[in-house]
Amino acid sequence: MSTVTDSESNSLYAKYVKVQPKDVKGTFRRLKWTALIVLLAIYYITPWIRWDRGPNSPDQAVLLSIADRKFFFFFIEIWPQQIYFLTGFLVFCAFGLFLATALAGRLWCGYACPQTVWTDLYLWVERLVEGDRGERIRLDNSPWTTRKLAKRLAKHGLWLLIALATGGVWIFYFVDAPTFLSELLHGEASTTTLGFIGLFTASTYLLAGFAREQVCTYMCPWPRFQAAMQDEESLIVTYQDWRGETRAPVSKRQNWEERKAQGIGDCIDCGQCQMVCPTGIDIRNGNQLQCIGCGLCIDACNDVMKRIGRPGNLILFDTENAQIAKAAGQKAAYRPIRPRTIVYGLLLLIVTSLMVIGLVTKPSLHISVLRDRAPLFVQLADGGIQNAYTFKISNMTREDRHYTLAISGVPNATVAALGQDGLRGDRIELTASPDTVETYRIFVVAPAQAVTGASTPIRFTLHEKTAGDTDNYDSVFMGPAK
């Protein structure tokens, strides 16, 4: 009989117990395999999908181009000044996660979270090399031999290959995939890029190979938030204690009627539900923070119930209200449409609508103006006051554009562009190449009597002649204080 010392009982930290999930077959395991294959295929294949955007533009369908400072997603092109679309996308994802959690608990965590997907893949490799749960535990407890060393080297070698492929493909989303692959194969990739590949490789290897369920339990904030997203009508993995308790091993000499008369339930206390759990919890203890809602315990329990001749779904996806009704011998229907899901659905619809409207009405012209701060202004020989500005035109179209720049706000002011000698007036002509940012050096001159103070508001208006696009920028014109 083991005893617990005072130092152990007062410890703030529990000793880590390695989780060795057992393999299981069933409906939810097949769903997880399907999700894993589809999601990994999307991740590894997407950088190789091509999309024709015309000459002098990248043809990679999904690309966060560092060189171009743009995000390309098929026919959508997002410029740096349109970063609000990223905000909208993140809000969309948040409300989508809220809705999914309200409907079916941690559905995302159990099937689509990258940590879950890659951990599942790593566990598959581990089973392939070292065997199922019992074999792995025996291998862990056995002394080091040539056989054990060979198995460990094979497992970690495959893990590192998967991690390297994961880190390398992640870089493909930021540069042209075929070009970068050629650079890698010819040893021409930069040390910075190789450093990032190493970082992502190490992250995948450590998180999926070693941290595993600890990421879900300790690192991820979502388990702490999910309670606020769920209610009594949310589908979660549930053990029907009203049917399963009291637990007792099954005996061939005892029929089920006798067990029932003795107050013994359907649970035979085999522990299979805990053995297959990727986070190592016992679902019979109720809903827990560590439960990721994968449903593998349902597959394990259903297999046991089938073998002992009892009805399935002792563990199932169900709601709290339904369990209360069933325990009382009543029926309860699942209510997916309720105030919480309606609110989340409406918010999701609003964000989606705003994103679509924003994309449809996305401007093809944007200007930015930066006034020189040193010197603030220059007094010319004729007494006029001159301010200099850096003027940038973002032409977001695939065609050459011709614009007219006009100024307003400062009486009798004239504008000129560096390199356009003799062309000065209240408006000038400027051009911009397709899908680029043209930079001009602009000089605005105003008579001294027109400048009434140290700072005068001035507006730059750029108008495109063919399509009629217009953009404005408000700045200031500096002069001597009076």
Own/partner long-range contacts of 255-259 (Cβ < 8 Å, ≥24 apart)? 256/310
Q: What is the mean pLDDT of residues 294-312?
A: 95
**For residue 424, is pLDDT > 80?**
no
> What is the percent of the chain where pLDDT is above 70?
96
Residue 383 confidence (pLDDT): 87
Cα angle 42, 44, 45 (rounded to 5 degrees) comes to: 65
Query: Can you name the residues that pair with 378 across neighbouring β-strands?
Result: 386
Contact 403, 429 (CB under 8 A): yes
Cis ω before 311 (30° cut-off from 0): no
- The CA distances from residue 318 to 146, 282, 298, 314, 459, in Å, are 49, 17, 12, 11, 62
pLDDT for position 421:
67
Average pLDDT over residues 122-128: 96
More confident residue, 38 or 468: 38
The interaxial angle of helices 191-206 and 146-172, nearest 10 deg, is 130
Between the CA atoms of 93, 94, 95 and 100, what dihedral angle is there, to the nearest 10 degrees? 80
| Homologous superfamily of domain range 365-478 | Immunoglobulins (2.60.40.10)
CB atoms within 10 A of CB 328: 9
**Which one, of 238, 255, 241, 250, lies nearest residue 327 by Cα?**
241
Reduced to 3 states, what is the DSSP secondary structure of residue 63? strand
| Res. 302: pLDDT tops 70 | yes
Flag whether pLDDT at 339 surpasses 60: yes
Residue 420 has pLDDT above 90, yes or no: no
pTM of the model: 0.85
Q: How far are the Cα atoms of 5, 130, 141, 189, 409 from residue 137, in angstroms, in the given order?
A: 27, 10, 6, 42, 79
The residue type at 404 = T
Q: Is the confidence at residue 154, as pLDDT, over 90?
A: yes
pLDDT at 12: 67
Question: What residues are paired with 70 via a beta bridge?
Answer: 65
pLDDT in tens, 131-150: 999 999 999 999 999 999 99
Given a cut of 80, whether residue 361 has pLDDT beyond it is yes
Could you tell me which residues are beta bridge partners of residue 344? none
User: Mean pLDDT over residues 187-213, rounded?
Assistant: 93
CATH 2.60.40.10 domain position(s) in the chain: 365-478
Q: Which of 8-17, 59-68, 208-217 has the lowest mean pLDDT?
A: 8-17
pLDDT, position 423: 67
The mean pLDDT value of the chain amounts to: 90
Q: Does 320 score more than 80 pLDDT?
A: yes
Give CA torsion, residues 69, 75, 76, 77, to 10 deg.
Answer: 20
What pLDDT shows up at residue 451? 83
Q: With 90 as the cut, is the pLDDT of residue 155 above it?
A: yes
Residue 407 above 60 pLDDT? yes
Closest by CA position to 294, among listed 121, 39, 104: 104
pLDDT at 167 exceeding the cut of 90: yes
**343-371 b/e (C-beta count within 10 Å ≥ 16 → b):** ebbebbeebeeebeeeeeeeeebbbbbeb
Of 134-148, 179-193, 220-234, least confident by mean pLDDT is 220-234
Residue 7 has pLDDT above 80, yes or no: no
Question: Which of the given ranges, 8-17, 53-62, 99-108, 447-456, has the highest pLDDT on average?
Answer: 99-108
Residues, the chain, total? Answer: 482
For residues 435 and 71, what is the distance between their CA atoms, to the nearest angstrom? 13
pLDDT at 204 over 90: yes
Question: What's the pLDDT at 166?
Answer: 95
How far apart CA 39 and CA 356 sit, in angstroms, is 25
Tokens of 456: 């005068």
Q: Which residue has the tokens 């870089």?
A: 171
1 falls in which pLDDT band (50, 70, 90)? very low
- pLDDT, one tens digit per residue, over 377-406 is 999 988 899 999 999 999 998 888 999 999
Q: Can you give the pLDDT at residue 3?
A: 47
